[in-house]
Structure 1
Amino acid sequence: MSASFDATVEILKALGEPTRLRLVMLLSGHDLTVSDLTSILGQSQPRISRHLKLLVESGVVLRHQEGAWAYFRRSDDPLVATLTDALLAGVTDEDGRLAGDREKLEDVRRERAERAALYFSRNAEQWDRIRSLHVPDAEVEAALLSSLGEESVEAMLDVGTGTGRLLELLAPRSERALGIDASREMLSIARAKLDASGLSRATVRQGDAYRLPVPRGSFALVTLHQVLHYLDDPAAAVREAAGALGPGGRLAIVDFAPHRLEELRAEHAHLRLGFSEEALGAYVQAAGLCVESIRALPLQGRRADALTVLILVARRPRATPFLDPAPRPVEAA
């Protein structure tokens, strides 16, 4: 990998201070807030914020906002990753300071896991009710993996990531995985699960399915797993997801076939009572994609309230130039 001399110097200058180097070590594979970092390093909030500002300005660290909170993480830029990994691999911990940082980081991760467990316990009953209406999640996941095949994925995006389950499932197949969700509670759960799984290549961000906070045409795989039935304009969400795909990229949609369970609308905020294969096919074709496969997974038995899960995979043609299906003005940074 080649890089400009000036860019390399700026990165090394940013790392050339004890606190900033410790921060980058903590942020390599974890999303952390200023509050998290002040707790771990035992330094004041203004001091930590000042160091983070310098790291962000140098491009070593990325900052993203979630409501009133800001999260920080080491940049995945190849130059930054190569230089920082090389430096961190050779650092020795003579005074145990770095070991202390790691122990306090584990405390932060444990607190996240406890908050996630509490949220799960409060909502487990309603989630279990919906799961009982369709084939087991393991079967859905196996069918999704089968539909996607063995094709390698450089970068994947999971829209409406929820608890981050698809990131856990698919991140090992990709070089970079990003989950987007509007709910801070769900993002907290997803972060706890990714921490527990050790998936440092996967991260999550707050965002809107209708206006994804990602560069256009930058992903090889985008997933919409049980998302569309919550949306008032699923066609617009599919167009936006398609806009994140590069040439040859694939979109995978998992959702319910048409049903008549009004309770899901009344009690679980489902705005759409499923989608036909024709409707999903029309959505992706209108977004400039070609349907590759559609699979139906019915629940076996005679339950009148049983749900059928549909899995659709579509691809952006490689032979045609990338066209943004939902162009929009460029916003100032």
Structure 2
Amino acid sequence: MSKAFLPPPQDPLVSLQDLVGSLRAAGEDTRLRVLALLAEGELNVSDLTDILAQSQPRISRHLKLMAEAGLIERHREGAWAFFRIAERTPAGALARLLAARLDPADPVAAADKARLAAVRAARSDAAQAYFNRHAVEWDRIRSLHVSDDQVETAVLDAVGPRPIRALLDLGTGTGRMLTLLAPRAQRVVGVDSNHAMLAVARANLERAGVRGAVLRQGDIYAPPVERDAFDLIVVHQVLHFLEDPARALREAAALLAPGGRIIVVDFAPHGLEFLREAHAHRRLGFARDQIEAWLDEAGLDAVSHRALAGPGDASDRLTVSLWVGRDRRVVTDMPSRSSQEVA
């Protein structure tokens, strides 16, 4: 199957002084090893101390120095702090280049990668244990509506063949939407308020081989990401948990780049009260015109709607609805057709 692509962005030029400062910050054995590990994905201090067999204070000092130099960036997730190579700094571009030039067969680098694999395996086991504890209740809900495969096919159809420059999944949960859409996206970000679910998402993304995804713990009413930045936002099975879904959609719309799209997946109206009582559903589904009115209030045009009816008797089955809203602002900087050719 052919795959659409966009050319990688140009790395910015930097001054001699800034380049020397970045090289000094990177030019030490442990710090280069850390950069090589962070090139594989986000890690916390505990991960790095386990992999590098060095003390927490020492690792923290190295991380602080590199963060101050712009090589890496830090974000909090509950009581934890996660680190990754900086996305938008010239020093971050240099860090990625240095990590890419390291021979993977180097004995030290190879041993670090092996210990990284062990850390990820332990993380995956913990995430699977959490999932198993909740699998029965999730499976009961799944049995009431069409299969996940059918829903995901509908999402892919709604996305279409257009390449995705920046994807945001609000209420990412297990990270399934990120895993599904990451092959089409240059940049992938997931936000969830639940630390345990982010651990599940992180393990699932690693298992699926998705590299470079950014996961953030945060409030859906104030997502910890930049505005006017994403050309696709997914809100998958989230709104029915919220006290104020309309506000969540308004906040999401503010994150869209001009002409960007939001895909909302949720249930149509239903009468299954046990979902409210046992599973914290605040809303028992949404009518088509309700979501479309909220999209309109958020400055979006409702461009499509699709209903996927559940199996069996409609009285005890759920219909999954999918809406697409598009930002009304005119796109003035779309790439040329030649940059979107199919490979």
TM tier, shorter chain? over 0.9
Is residue 244 from structure 1 mapped to residue 259 from structure 2 by the alignment?
no
Amino acid aligned to 2:231: A
40, 44, 56: which one pairs with 1:45?
Answer: 56
Quote the sequence identity (%): 50
CA distance in 2, matches of 1:78, 1:55: 12
- Structure 1 residues 146-193: Cα deviation after superposition (integer angstroms, max 9, x where no partner): 112111110010000000000000111110000000101100000101
Note the aligned Cα RMSD (angstroms).
1.6
Match of 2:281, SS state, is coil
Distance 1:313 1:251 in 2: 6
Question: Could you report, residue by residue, the CA deviation over 1:95-146 in whole angstroms, capped at 9, with x for unpaired residues?
Answer: 6111111111011100111001111111110000000000001000101111
Unaligned runs of 5+ in 1: 322-333
Q: CA deviation at 1:27?
A: 0.8
AA in 2 matched with 1:36: D
Q: Which of 172, 175, 189 is the aligned partner of 2:183?
A: 172
- Tell whether 2:255 aligns with 1:255: no
Look up the match of 1:120: 131
Residue 325 (structure 1) aligns with? none
Mapped to 1, the partners of 2:84 and 2:209 lie a distance apart of 15
Q: C-alpha displacement at 1:77, in angstroms?
A: 2.4
1:10-37 per-residue CA deviation (whole Å, 9 max, x = no partner) reads 3222211111111011111322111110
1:198, 1:263 → 2: CA distance?
Answer: 37
Whole-Å separation in 2 of the counterparts to 1:85 and 1:63: 16
Distance apart, 1:7 and its partner CA: 3.3
Distance 2:70 2:89 in 1: 11
With over 3 angstroms needed to count, the CA separation of the structure-2 counterparts of 1:242 and 1:118, relative to structure 1, is same
Give yes or no for contact 1:29–1:74 (8 Å, CA) kept in 2: no
Is the partner of 1:292 in helix, strand or coil?
A: strand
2:157 to 146, 152, 170: 146
Residue 97 of structure 2 corresponds to residue 86 of structure 1: yes
Paired residues of 2:39 and 2:99 also in contact (CA < 8 A): no
Say yes or no: does 1:4 pair with 2:14: yes
Which residue of 183, 189, 205 corresponds with 2:216? 205
> 2:231, 2:256 within 8 Å by CA — same for their partners in 1?
yes
Question: Does the 8 Å contact 1:238/1:287 carry over to 2?
Answer: yes
Residue segments in structure 2 that go unaligned for 5+ positions in a row: 1-9, 333-343
**1:280 partnered with 2:291:** yes
Structure-2 residue corresponding to 1:319: 330
- Choose which of 296, 302, 307 in structure 1 pairs with 2:318: 307
How many angstroms does 1:320 deviate by?
8.1
The question of whether the paired residues in 2 share the 8 Å contact of 1:175 and 1:201 is answered with no
> Whole-Å Cα distance in 2 between the matches of residues 95 and 291 of structure 1?
54
Amino acid at match of 2:14: S
Give the alignment's TM-score, normalised by structure 2.
Answer: 0.90
Tell whether the 8 Å contact from 2:14 to 2:90 is kept in structure 1 after alignment.
Answer: no
Letter in 2 for 1:236: R
Paired position in structure 2 for 1:326: none
User: Which digits, 9 at most, give the CA deviation of each residue in 1:65-93, with x for residues without a partner?
Assistant: 11211111111226345423332333236
Aligned to 1:19: 30
- Could you tell me which amino acid in structure 2 is paired with residue 136 of structure 1? S
In the other structure, the counterpart of 1:231 is: 242
Residues 1:94 and 1:28: Cα distance change in structure 2 (over 3 Å): closer
Instruction: Tell me by how many angstroms 1:318 deviates.
Output: 3.3
Q: Is the 8 A contact 1:183 1:206 kept in 2?
A: yes
Q: How many residues align?
A: 321
